[in-house]
Structure 1
Amino acid sequence: MFGPQVPTMTVTDVADDTYLLDVREDDEWAAGHAPDAHHLPMMELPSRLAEVPTDREVAVICRSGGRSAQVVAYLMRNGWDQVRNVQGGMGEWLAAGKPVVGENGQPGRVL
């Protein structure tokens, strides 16, 4: 769908020290997200680009992988070279048994 120019990784490839960028909307984030993820909704990315590190690997995640693939392509066009789309998004994250927390720190769910 997005072509071979968008590098990907599986949820099991996301290392503990990888910067995990969650680009879902506020309500999706509040319902459940990876504990160490950084939230930056896709539509806010252009105005908050400076928040995304350029000196380390960035894994971008959304619900299923579509929005995150678009964000990866955007970041690559803007100079990022260590950026990957997380295949399957938060749905795959949850299916792999990775932790998901809600806004209140309690177990979360994926919207």
Structure 2
Amino acid sequence: MFGPQVPTMPVTEITDETYLLDVREDDEWAAGHAPQAHHLPMMELPARLAEVPDDREVAVICRSGGRSAQVVAYLVRHGWDQARNVAGGMGDWAAAGRPVVGTDGQPGRVL
């Protein structure tokens, strides 16, 4: 869909050292996200680009992989060589048994 210029990685390759960037909307984030993720809605990225580290691997995640692929393409165009799209998004994250929490700290769900 986006061609080979968008590098991807499976959920299973995300480690504690990976900067996990969740680009979903506020309501999706509130319902459930990975505990170590950093929230930056896709539409706010251009204004908040400086918040994304460029010195380590950045895994970008959304619900299913479409929005995050667009964000990775944007980051790569702007010099982020270590940006990766998380294949399957939060759906695959939850299916792999990885933790999902809501903003209240309780177990969350993927919208």
TM-score, length-scaled by structure 2: 0.99
Query: How big is the alpha-carbon RMSD for the aligned residues of Structure 1 and Structure 2?
Result: 0.3
Distance in 1, Cα, partners of 2:96 & 2:54: 28
CA shift digits 1:44-91 (9 cap, x unpaired): 000000000000100000000000000000000001001100000000
Q: Look up the match of 2:104.
A: 104
Distance in 1, Cα, partners of 2:73 & 2:24: 16
| Structure 2 alignment gaps of length 5 or more | none
Distance in 1, Cα, partners of 2:41 & 2:99: 20
Distance in 1, Cα, partners of 2:11 & 2:105: 21
For the pair 1:86 / 2:76, whether they are aligned, the reply is no
Identity value in percent: 85
Q: In the TM superposition, what are the counterparts of 1:27-106 in structure 2 within 5 Å?
A: 27-106=27-106
Which letter maps to 1:59?
A: A
TM-score, length-scaled by structure 1: 0.99
SS at match of 1:59: strand
Which letter maps to 1:62?
A: C
What displacement does 1:7 show? 0.3
